[in-house]
Amino acid sequence: MANSQQPHQKMSKYESHELYAEFEYVDRSHATRRRRLAKKHHKKKQNGPRKQSDRHAKMMADIRKMDDSHASWVPSYAAALDPLHHERHWVISAVAPFYHDALITDVTRLVKGGKEANVYACTADPATGFELVAAKLYRERMLRNLKNDAIYKAGRTLRDADGKQIRSRRERTAVLKKSGYGQRLDFMMWVGTEFRTQTELYEAGGDVPKPLAQQGSAILMEFIGDEYGAAPALNEINLEPDEAQPLFERVMENVKLMLDHHYIHGDLSPYNILYWEGDIILIDFPQMVQARQNPHAFELLQRDITRVCEYFARFGVESDPVQLTLDLWKPYMGSEYAGLHVGK
């Protein structure tokens, strides 16, 4: 019987290479698989975040191109200052929230500079109903310039920047010990006091600028004046004889209005009473005293009235500051009034 098997033919090394060239050895050991997975994970980790970061960067670049927010806004007054000037950064950072909230469109000029605060004239957004508004920017070191501030703060309720009463023992202690954190809280209380008091007095019919907003250490309010300049203070002008008496009576009506709402200005003088178009406007309320809580209330009220009387006396207005003070204080205190020894 013939053998059905084909005889084995030996291939050359070239034929063997061509026959098995399409096959590739794959190492499927456990160690090799772990190395491959680690390499794949590392590559994904490198490429993924980078692509995501690139997409985020592109998105932010697109937003910046169409950005209309305070991050890219420089008012004309600040633009004219040296880029390294501290006032430039201060003005932009302080008033930018008002721009962002569509309250102002520009800051045009410095109206008044002082140790405690600067006041700037701003072009108002039409939605406010004003052509011009004033931005009052307090300096954080203002407390160093306030002499005997404890007199004004005596009996005052401690409140935070939002006007809420401070009940935290930690915060109250910080304010009393005047730590860095406590001084910051104290500073915000002074600014907040002015805004809240001015708002209450305006709503009660007081002759004060209409307050619009507060952001941090800045207060935005109605501008008293026009495009040519701000209203002068009483100490800068001479009144006509026929207007001195009615203006004096108007000031005293505002003093009474404040007392009716349990407030005493505490620093009233011709320097913070503006004169505009025949009317008076009271300003500057950070040191406002709570009449029933402050043990120095009567003395501060009498000082306010005395300063007003002395100014108007220059224009022929006769008055008795002590009697005027008592005429306001007695009805206000009512049955609590036990008599005060006041020398004329």
Residues with catalytic roles: 267
Give the integer Cα–Cα distance in Å for 201 and 218: 19
Cα dihedral sign, 183-186-190-192: positive
Contact 217, 187 (CB under 8 A): yes
Q: Any residues with CB less than 8 A from the CB of 275 and at least 6 apart, and which?
A: 231, 232, 233, 234, 237, 239, 247, 281
CB–CB of 322/342 below 8 Å?
Answer: yes
Q: Is 302 helix (H, G, I), strand (E, B) or coil?
A: helix
Rounded to 10°, the helix 297-313/321-333 angle is 140
Residue 111 dihedral angles phi and psi, to the nearest 5°: -90, -45
Please state whether beta strands 229-230 and 289-290 pair in parallel, antiparallel, or not at all (unpaired). Answer: unpaired
**Helix (H), strand (E) at residue 97:** helix 86-100
Q: CA–CA distance from 184 to each of 98, 116, 139, 214, 217 (Å)?
A: 22, 15, 11, 16, 11
Q: Are the beta carbons of 104 and 122 closer than 8 angstroms?
A: yes
Q: Give me the phi and psi of 84, to 5 degrees please.
A: -95, -5
Q: Report the alpha-carbon distance of residue 185 to residue 286 in Å, rounded.
A: 14
Place of tokens 């406002």: 288
